Amino acid sequence: MSAILLAWALTLAQIMLGLSMICATVRVVIGPRAQDRVLGLDSLYVNAMLMLLVFGIQTGRTLYFEAALIIALLGFTSTLALAKFLMRGEVIE
Amino acid sequence: MILVPDLPAWAAAVVAILVLAGAAMTLIGSIGLLRMKTFYNRLHPPTLGSSAGTLLIVVGSMVCFSVLRTRPSVHEVLIAVFVTLTTPVTFMLLGRAALYRDRTGDGEEVPPSSTMENDAS
């Protein structure tokens, strides 16, 4: 009984996170200016990281945790580089 | 085929509630990102997903793996600490960059400058 409840809850959480990834993607596509697209990209990688964590709970493996950690590290760096690019026009001066 | 970890009932209930609450928080934040009108309003809703959503799902994952292995499993704290530390940095920088672009170029209307702001960015 509790296993079926947990399975439904995890599937519902994955559907919700997928919907939020779709919302972020729509913002990346329609964003009027460049900073809106960068904001959508940042939101997209956070949602993808949470989706991988939920996959990790579902399968009971730590493989997905490492992938989520790498997404968090690289996403931070990419958003930082894009913000710097918007500010200065180049990343490395 | 039902793919689910083999947890006792109380742990399953706790994990289900935490994960569902975190996913709902993230969904609310992303809908806000889609619906807000100006960029400076849109800067706020995604932080709901990266603060509350991440924290709830990470705590759910910690409970799940601690019960599965019958020993404390705290390596998910890495993600929580890292995301909590880096989100304000990126959003402050992004807001600063947008403010700079709007003040120098022909952008949309910028919010009024506060009295505490003393640097000429």
Residues A18-34 have pLDDT tens digits of 999 999 999 999 978 88
Residues 6+ apart with CB under 8 A from B115: none
Local confidence band at B103 (pLDDT 50, 70, 90 cut-offs): confident
B83 CB neighbours in chain A (<8 A) are: 46, 49, 72
Chain B nearest C-alpha distance from A69 (Å): 6
Check CB contact under 8 Å for B79 and A3.
Answer: no
Chain B nearest C-alpha distance from A91 (Å): 13
| Domain regions of chain A by residue span | 2-88
In this predicted structure, what is the pLDDT of residue B121?
47
Residues B67-96 have pLDDT tens digits of 988 888 888 899 999 999 999 999 999 998
The CATH number of the structural domain formed by A2-88 is 1.10.287
In this predicted structure, what is the pLDDT of residue B108?
62
- Give chain A's count of helices (H) and strands (E): 3, 0
A14 CB neighbours in chain B (<8 A) are: 23
* Mean pLDDT computed over B24-32: 94
Between vectors from CA B26 to CA B16 and to CA B68, what angle results, nearest 5°? 30
Lowest mean per-residue pLDDT among A53-67, B25-39, B41-55, B93-107: B93-107
pLDDT over 50 (residue A55): yes
Query: For A35, which of B57, B60, B94 is closest by C-beta distance?
Result: B94
B51 CB neighbours in chain A (<8 A) are: none
Chain A nearest C-alpha distance from B82 (Å): 8
Mean pLDDT of chain A: 90
CA dist., res. A7 & res. A13, Å (int): 10
pLDDT over 70 (residue B1): no
In this predicted structure, what is the pLDDT of residue B118?
53
